[in-house]
A and B are shown apart, each in its own frame.
Chain A
């Protein structure tokens, strides 16, 4: 696959997915060490389906898999980067304990603003450089723990805003300088 996922049409998506599943199945059948009793590591196609939002892996299952296999996080991040409309990389911070309130990405800027109307809530404000393609989902992959994802409303005046609990996993992940942000 040489093009970006989002540049493919519906037929291209279907073909890529079918090829992915076929190759993966063949590889699994050829593997003499394949042990059906071992807890399943999410397959690349399952990870890809998760990254594209086509078939999300249950949160607990993904969290356990990421915990059991640290290498899986890198694979997932690569697939998410591939499927994303835009990606916001890790933030250079003075220390990992530092919380960030603003982060940039290729084509967007994300800010965390305290909600004046409720002290325990935070506005997530995403300013988009380009109106098209408009993202419909925000996913954050923290340095540890499973990815956090939330649906986005359609942009208005090139911006998307959402309100979340400050203590929510989403806001904590967005404030984590070691996290990577994806707009899908």
Chain B
């Protein structure tokens, strides 16, 4: 289809129409505002993460990293706004978003979460959202398209006859329905394809060279083909040195508990005790340390994040509940992240560790973890998925401790 589309984000309090999407100064974080006013909605932080590359998907698609989106009614929580706002951005980029009071050829009602692969994930309370939008669906003369995750297709059974519905597994399906280009592949995928093509070409060249009788004169530039398997009669020059490749499997991730010396209070001398991650340990832990140690023969790069989960964070004004460390990891080297336990808590507290490994520093990962203050468990989940999408080696673990005896 073509024409202007008005996007409606479904909420349990009723429909919230996207009034306007405006690119803002790139130094600003993206926000969702209520009704063109100065009220910034609480989902703004999550929205900014959803927009901004490398973790976000909108910048990847439209090439800009800071937006202000105005909606007609509050959207307070959850991720179900992601599908509607992603589609709004794509329509805006195509010049087809019906903004402000522009007439629309189609009203698109959407609810669903969108992951880093642009798959549509199911969300809760779809039935309630549909019920609260009944008035919108009943409006005369409006072409409606209702989109939900394919996992919740059952919820669409009760829609009025004139309302078209589309359960979707991917964002691409809806973009196709709207006549928009499919989502761009991430740059890394293109690089990978190029890289594989390059390898294939190199292999063909190498194979061809391998079949050609050895020339009498030494080759001018033998380096590309020397790395290819070669039969003895075509080997030229000195044997090539092939450095060992970084092996993520050779990097161990250990958990240690900092405990007070002689069972005194935390803050004095401490001893580090290696523990089995997730295993039961005695109360009275001052801090948790995660340690990445490279037992392999080649250097790599590591990013470590350690986060304390739980609502006690609300009471911990001024104290840190997440720490990160990163750096090169030469053979035999180790990198640690240490996070103090909330000393006033007498119940178990779960610490989550994320270790990301690569053969070299990756700017995307460093940038994503440049400031982890305020990182939530949900943010960490999102990052974990997106690091995996980047093809990085990712390991996570949980360990529960009780800070206060």
Contacts and interface: CB of A to CB of B under 8 A. Distances in A.
A108 interface: no
B100 to A, nearest CB: 11
Nearest to A154: B374
A156 B371 CA distance: 8
Interface residues of B, number: 22
Most buried by B among A131, A156, A162: A156
A145 interface: no
Interface residues of A, number: 22
Contact of A117 (B24, B27, B45, B318): B24
A15 B197 CA distance: 73
A158 B29 CA distance: 12
A161 B28 contact: yes
B402 to A, nearest CB: 26
B28 A125 contact: yes
Contacts of A156: 29, 45, 48, 371, 373-374
A159 to B, nearest CB: 8
A116 B373 contact: no
A157 B25 contact: no
B259 interface: no
A154 B45 CA distance: 11
Contacts of A113: 25, 27-28
Contacts of A163: 31, 33, 38, 40
Nearest to B371: A157
B20 A117 contact: yes
B33 to A, nearest CB: 7
A123 interface: yes
Contacts of B31: 161, 163
Contacts of B24: 115-117, 123
Most buried by A among B28, B31, B48: B28
Nearest to A131: B373
Interface in A115-140: 115-118, 121, 123, 125, 131-133
Contacts of A118: 36
Contacts of A155: 373
6 cross-chain pairs, A with B, having the tightest CB-CB distances, nearest first: A117-B22, A117-B68, A157-B371, A163-B38, A116-B22, A113-B25
22 contacts: A113-B28, A116-B23, A116-B24, A116-B68, A117-B22, A117-B24, A117-B33, A117-B70, A121-B38, A125-B27, A125-B28, A131-B373, A154-B374, A156-B29, A156-B374, A157-B371, A161-B29, A162-B40, A163-B31, A163-B33, A163-B38, A164-B38
Interface of A: 113, 115-118, 121, 123, 125, 131-133, 154-159, 161-165
Given A123-B25, A157-B29, 12 more contacts: A113-B27, A113-B28, A116-B22, A116-B24, A116-B25, A117-B33, A125-B28, A154-B374, A156-B45, A156-B48, A156-B374, A157-B370
